[in-house]
């Protein structure tokens, strides 16, 4: 007998999918390439320094290492919200920018001994910036996102393999508006629209025992297209142009050690980018570590004994301008209701330095909020 009742937390999560804050400002360096690359993780992983390549939770979708889903014992739906405050400084002064987005939504469905299926949306790049100078107003909006799906299978209690496919989609608009001195004239507007399409496969594997686990992932390079069209007030431009680029080769490895209710993680990710996308692109990497203290309290214990505590830190070299990013994080996992649903909070503070050629300095503070709804939907029920 299968139970197909979906809890309210799952239904509410689907509704949240249709809500996004579409206006936001990011660092001006997000104008380069595909934009500022984001980490496709939930707040629980962001709180651990964006690590999670080898940490076995037995619930949730793992875009960092989809093969971990093979060990899931419960179906879950997850969504998150992120808000960022950037403080930008250069030789001319300091300014503050804020941005908000819905970066991650995922449904992970366990098939018991037959493995796990997942479907996820992630806001993988941010390319949003605006400024006003006298009569000129410039806006850069949106950026590419990804939809992914995958299947993972446990060949044994200690080894699993995952196969996934990521589909890049979305568009960006660059708009320049100029107000004419004579108010009787129509304001001039110059708009460039770039639309992205393409996809790539990924293979992952996990090896584990009761105390240690090792995870690896390889994203296989593939082609994607960028279709660009240009429009301006009272002007005609040639036909749309199509460019073809390679999606980066990405390989990642992570280890995790579990000792009682403590977990320690260490991840390394390498990205090999196609420099034809932009002249200011280079290879990127991330090295980060994390910690989690898993609460052992039951639903009958005081609430504070059921709260999970997390922390992490790391260094990342973005593929843009060899920009180094130093960050630290802290977060809590708060149980909700009687069915072990979780509300996760993560605070991430960091500092980006584009290098000697650019005087811009970028300090930021991020708040990640996420909800994980759990269900026995699709699983066999025990008869008494």
335-348: pLDDT as tens digits: 887 666 888 999 99
CATH number of the domain at 78, please. 2.40.160.60
- The mean predicted confidence, pLDDT, of the chain is 79
Q: How far is CA 188 from the centre of its chain?
A: 36
Q: Does residue 208 lie in a domain region? A: yes
Tell me, what's the pLDDT at 265?
A: 96
Least confident of 44-53, 56-65, 170-179, 345-354: 170-179
Give the total number of structural domains in the chain.
1
pTM, full prediction: 0.81
Q: Does residue 2 lie in a domain region? A: no
Q: Report residue 384's pLDDT band, with 50, 70 and 90 as the boundaries.
A: very low
Tell me, what's the pLDDT at 27?
A: 64
Q: Does residue 35 lie in a domain region? A: yes
Tell me, what's the pLDDT at 90?
A: 74
Distance CA 72, CA 116 (A): 7
Q: Percentage of residues in the chain with pLDDT exceeding 90? A: 31
Q: Does residue 343 lie in a domain region? A: yes
> Phi, psi (5° rounding) for residue 30?
-70, -10
Range(s) of the domain holding residue 280: 8-375
Tell me, what's the pLDDT at 348?
A: 95
Q: Does residue 230 lie in a domain region? A: yes
pLDDT higher than 70, residue 378: no
DSSP 2: B
- DSSP result, 296-340: ---TTS-GGGG-EEEEEEEEEE-SBTT-EEEEEEEEEEEEETTTT
Q: Average pLDDT for residues 84-90, to the nearest whole number?
A: 79
Q: Does residue 3 lie in a domain region? A: no
Q: Does residue 381 lie in a domain region? A: no
pLDDT higher than 50, residue 15: no
CB 173, CB 142: distance < 8 Å = yes
Q: Average pLDDT for residues 224-241, to the nearest whole number?
A: 74
pLDDT higher than 60, residue 168: yes
Tell me, what's the pLDDT at 12?
A: 40
Q: 19-40 pLDDT, tens per residue?
A: 333 334 456 667 677 777 777 7
Q: Average pLDDT for residues 309-330, to the nearest whole number?
A: 91
Tell me, what's the pLDDT at 182?
A: 59
Q: Does residue 380 lie in a domain region? A: no
């Amino acid at each position: 007998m299968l139970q197909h009742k979906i809890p309210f937390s799952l239904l509410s999560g689907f509704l949240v999918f249709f809500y996004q804050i579409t206006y936001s400002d990011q660092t001006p360096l997000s104008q380069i390439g595909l934009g500022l690359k984001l980490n496709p993780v939930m707040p629980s992983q962001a709180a651990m320094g964006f690590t999670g390549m080898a940490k076995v939770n037995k619930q949730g979708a793992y875009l960092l290492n989809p093969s971990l889903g093979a060990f899931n014992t419960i179906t879950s739906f997850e969504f998150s919200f992120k808000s960022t405050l950037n403080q930008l400084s250069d030789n001319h002064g300091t300014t503050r920018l804020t941005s908000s987005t819905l970066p991650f939504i995922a449904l992970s469905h366990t098939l018991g001994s037959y493995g796990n299926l997942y479907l996820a949306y992630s806001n993988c790049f941010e390319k949003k910036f605006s400024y006003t100078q006298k009569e000129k107003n410039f806006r850069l909006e949106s950026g590419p996102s990804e939809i992914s799906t995958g299947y993972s299978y446990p060949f044994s209690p200690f080894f699993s393999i995952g196969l996934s496919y990521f589909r890049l989609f979305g568009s960006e608009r660059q708009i320049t508006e100029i107000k004419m001195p004579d108010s009787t004239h129509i304001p001039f507007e110059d708009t460039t629209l770039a639309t992205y399409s393409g996809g790539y496969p990924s293979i992952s594997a996990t090896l584990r025992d009761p105390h240690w686990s090792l995870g690896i992932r390889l994203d296989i390079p593939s082609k994607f297209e960028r279709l660009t069209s240009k429009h301006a007030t009272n002007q005609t431009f040639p036909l749309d142009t199509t460019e073809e680029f390679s999606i980066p080769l990405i390989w990642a490895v992570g280890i995790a050690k579990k000792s009682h209710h403590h977990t320690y993680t260490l991840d390394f990710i390498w990205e090999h980018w196609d420099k034809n996308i932009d002249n200011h692109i280079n290879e990127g990497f991330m090295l980060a570590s994390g910690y989690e203290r898993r609460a052992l309290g039951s639903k009958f214990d005081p609430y504070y004994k059921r709260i999970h505590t997390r922390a992490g830190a790391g260094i990342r070299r973005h593929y843009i301008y060899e920009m180094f990013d130093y960050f630290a994080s802290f977060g809590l996992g708060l149980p909700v209701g009687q069915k072990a649903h979780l509300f996760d909070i993560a605070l991430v503070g960091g500092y980006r330095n584009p290098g000697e050629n650019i005087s811009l300095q970028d300090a930021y503070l991020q708040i990640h909020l996420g909800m994980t709804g759990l269900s026995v939907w699709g699983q066999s029920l025990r008869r008494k």
